[in-house]
A = this chain, B = another copy of it.
């Protein structure tokens, strides 16, 4: 069994290559994402490489092997099903489930996971809109559209919130920008590095592009 640390590294590498799984992840980015110093990332990545979970070339970067990808998706499935359980069944707030899920994702057997999946009625996405990988380890690859890339006049539906920090999720929640909400892009301000969107029958919301980069959308039908 892969250790907790191993599972987390693989998951982070996966998340850092959302747009393109063949992209190489730098040690700097991985270290920042894992909140460790770069040297730690290098030494862990060497072990992942030894265990054939990643491709790694010194000074170049790291990406998942198919074995590593499979493991990452299993962890993600657990994480997202657990988050769904905590919100749907135990009534926790979507902004506070991440911490528990971060630990529980490493502690659940396949059998239990499948029971939870049935209990929940095989949900397709978690409370943040993140797709739940199937038990066979696959996940439909959907095109990633970021709110930040929209232009004034676009009408889009928010599908996923990529940042699971409590403060960010609360910000989103208070302004009515949960997954499923349709918004109109009122204006974009390149110089001011900001954009303004308006959710239907709500106040317009202005946010920086860094924030708008964390919201995924699809064209509103």
Report which residue of A91, A107, A119 has the largest number of chain B beta carbons within 10 angstroms of its beta carbon.
A107
Residues of B within 8 A of A99 (CB): 109
| Interface: A111 (CB within 8 A) | yes
Residue from B90, B100, B106, B111 within 8 A of A119 (CB atoms):
B90
Give chain B residues whose Cβ lies under 8 Å from the Cβ of A119.
89-90
Whether B112 and A86, one on each chain, are in contact in the complex, defined by CB atoms closer than 8 angstroms, is: yes
Kindly state the separation between the CA atoms of A11 and B18 in the bound complex, as whole angstroms. 42
In the complex, A67 has a CB within 8 A of chain B: no
A115 at the interface (CB under 8 A from B): yes
The reply to whether A111 and B92 form a contact with Cβ atoms under 8 Å apart is yes
The smallest beta-carbon distance between A207 and chain B, in angstroms, is 29
B106 touches A107 (CB 8 A): yes
Q: Is the pair A107, B109 in contact by a Cβ cutoff of 8 Å?
A: no
In Å, the complex CA distance between A27 and B107 comes to 29
Whether A100 lies near B112 (C-beta < 8 A) is yes
Per-position binary interface string of chain A over residues 208-221, scored 1 when its CB falls under 8 Å from any chain B CB and 0 otherwise: 00000000000000
In the complex, the answer to whether A107 meets B115 with C-beta atoms within 8 Å is no
A99-130 to B contact mask, C-beta < 8 Å, 1/0: 11001101111011001100100000000000
Which A residues, 155 to 206, have Cβ-Cβ distances below 8 Å to chain B?
A: none
- Chain B residue contacts of A89, Cβ below 8 A: 119
Cβ proximity bits A80-99 to B, threshold 8 Å, 1 near / 0 not: 00000010011110001001
Residues of B within 8 A of A91 (CB): 115
Residues on A close to B: CB < 8 A?
86, 89-92, 96, 99-100, 103-104, 106-109, 111-112, 115-116, 119
Q: Which 4 A-B pairs have the closest CB atoms?
A: A103-B107, A90-B115, A107-B107, A104-B107
Give me 17 other A-B pairs in contact (C-beta within 8 A), A100-B109, A104-B104, A107-B107 excluded.
A86-B112, A86-B115, A89-B119, A90-B112, A90-B115, A90-B119, A92-B112, A92-B115, A96-B111, A99-B109, A100-B107, A100-B108, A100-B112, A103-B106, A104-B107, A104-B108, A106-B107
